[in-house]
Amino acid sequence: MKKRKALLVAFLLVWVGGHSSVRGEVISDRVAAVVNSDVILESDIKKAKQPLMRSFMSLPLGVIRPGTWPTDQEILEELVVIHLLEQDANKKGMKIDDKILDASIDSIKKRNNLTQDQFVLHLVASGVGYPEYRKLMKRQLTLNRLIAAEVAQKVPLSEEDAQEYFKKYKDNIDERHKQLLESLTPARPQEQQQKPEIPKDMDIYVGGKVRLRQITLKPPQGAKKQDLAKVMDQARTIYQEASTGGDFAQLAKKYSKDPMASSGGDLGMLNYKDMVPDLQKLVQRFKEGDVVPPMPSRDGVIILYLAEGKNRTKKTVPIPVAERNRMEKQLKEAYEKRNAEQTKKAQSEARAAEEETEIEDPKGKTEKSTGILTPAEEKEYKKVRRKVLELVKTERIQARMKDWIEELKKNSIIEVKL
């Protein structure tokens, strides 16, 4: 046992506080509603109102009034609908492959010009851990696929439909299309809600015993700076896999380069009081099942896993001022990069959305004379045809979505408590 602890202490040199497991304030957990067998808590409503979480509610549900920040009652109704859709997706066996999920997250980081570390920090400051973020993202992708199958693909649209619409609204197509784009743009929160705050307190666990597992990665002898960077990149990949359900013991056997690798990196049960101060400060920030982010060591990089904890005491303590300042600085830098890309991103997405609405009729022709429009009207129609198609399809999708949700509600047991 002493040999294992000595090995661990030898590897452990620094702990990066920006990755600490922090908790925000405790919020109410009264039951707000029950949807069939699913329970919605009052804390779910509060969390769903946070700016970051609103990005996971950007579904065409028709619940939130366009251009407005949602009320608690609207969010509750929205959560009810989301649970209904999740249940329907489960019944239909709809699943998102992890490769698709990883690609989607990588795309988000790239668009916002964030490194993995900055991205995780942004999530922590918003009260969402990386594993939870992945679950939310998977839900979002699943529901988008479900809506596409049950709504978008079941909305008929022909050239005749588009020309009839143009004839009815030809004098204000541009204005109606402008209103449509505005309604599809998510509302921004009040200024004080726009940036999440670094929590002031965190939970720690002291005393008792802990069982740790360890993965050690080492660069080759005579390694150069770029070799060390590659080792850290590999460590981040392993950490991500371990944090999202990977078997840490198997990962240790596969990747670790220390004597404990064959036992899955098992360091055995360690008494808190016998640990050196640096190790005490480290393990007290993590609960059972947590993976400690990669840390530089004398010989390379280590990743720790808190496999088991016994007789530990949970306490809430202030986050050190220096650490909060460092985290706030990192978060500020991340926001500055993100905001610099915001306008460019919005314009790009708007153009992409418009291009996707270019729909052909069943015969494969994008334009044909139907006798609905006069020659003069056809000339004007060609100029705005794309906008007309987008308007018609969106209105029909919204109508279909409303009918589908009402059908799901009729076939469900919903009990609202608030």
Q: Where are the domains of the chain?
A: 2-24+201-318, 36-196+338-359+366-416
* Backbone φ and ψ of 294, nearest 5°: -55, 140
Do 2-24+201-318 and 36-196+338-359+366-416 have matching folds?
A: no
Say how far apart CA 320 and CA 345 lie, in whole Å.
36
Judge whether residue 356 has pLDDT over 50: no
| 246 token code pair | 């990977």
| 182 token code pair | 């505005």
Mean local confidence (pLDDT), 275-284 = 88
For the entire predicted model, the pTM comes to 0.56
Judge whether residue 345 has pLDDT over 60: no
Say how far apart CA 291 and CA 305 lie, in whole Å.
4
Residue-level pLDDT at 155 = 83
Which residue would you say has higher pLDDT here, 335 or 266? 266
Residue-level pLDDT at 92 = 93
Residues 253-264: tens digit of each pLDDT? 999 999 999 999
Rg of the chain, C-alpha, whole Å: 27
Q: Binning pLDDT at 50, 70 and 90, where does residue 335 land?
A: low
Angle at 409 between CA 403 and CA 413, to 5 degrees: 170
Mean local confidence (pLDDT), 358-382 = 68
**Cβ neighbours, 10 Å, residue 32:** 22
Residue-level pLDDT at 117 = 72
Residues 207-240: tens digit of each pLDDT? 999 999 999 998 887 777 777 788 888 888 898 7
- CA-CA distances (angstroms) from residue 57 to 45, 73, 290, 328? 12, 15, 28, 27
CATH of domain 2-24+201-318: 3.10.50.40
Judge whether residue 23 has pLDDT over 50: no
Residue-level pLDDT at 348 = 56
Residues 154-193: tens digit of each pLDDT? 888 888 999 999 999 999 999 998 888 777 666 665 544 4
For the chain, the straight-line distance linking the first and the last C-alpha, in angstroms and rounded, comes to 55
Longest dimension (CA), the chain: 91
Mean local confidence (pLDDT), 142-160 = 87
Residue-level pLDDT at 404 = 92
Say how far apart CA 385 and CA 29 lie, in whole Å.
51
Judge whether residue 119 has pLDDT over 70: yes
Task: For 65-109, give the secondary structure using H, E and C.
Answer: CCCCCCCHHHHHHHHHHHHHHHHHHHHCCCCCCHHHHHHHHHHHH
CB 152 within 8 A of CB 399: no
> Alpha helices of 151-224 — where are they, by DSSP H?
159-169, 173-184
- pLDDT, mean over the chain: 79
Say how far apart CA 383 and CA 327 lie, in whole Å.
52
Residues 37-70: tens digit of each pLDDT? 899 998 888 888 877 677 666 777 878 776 677 8
CB 31 within 8 A of CB 416: no
In this structure, the chain runs to a length of 418
| 270 token code pair | 């360690």
Q: For 36-196+338-359+366-416, which CATH class?
A: mainly alpha
Judge whether residue 373 has pLDDT over 80: yes
Residue-level pLDDT at 76 = 92
Say how far apart CA 80 and CA 60 lie, in whole Å.
14
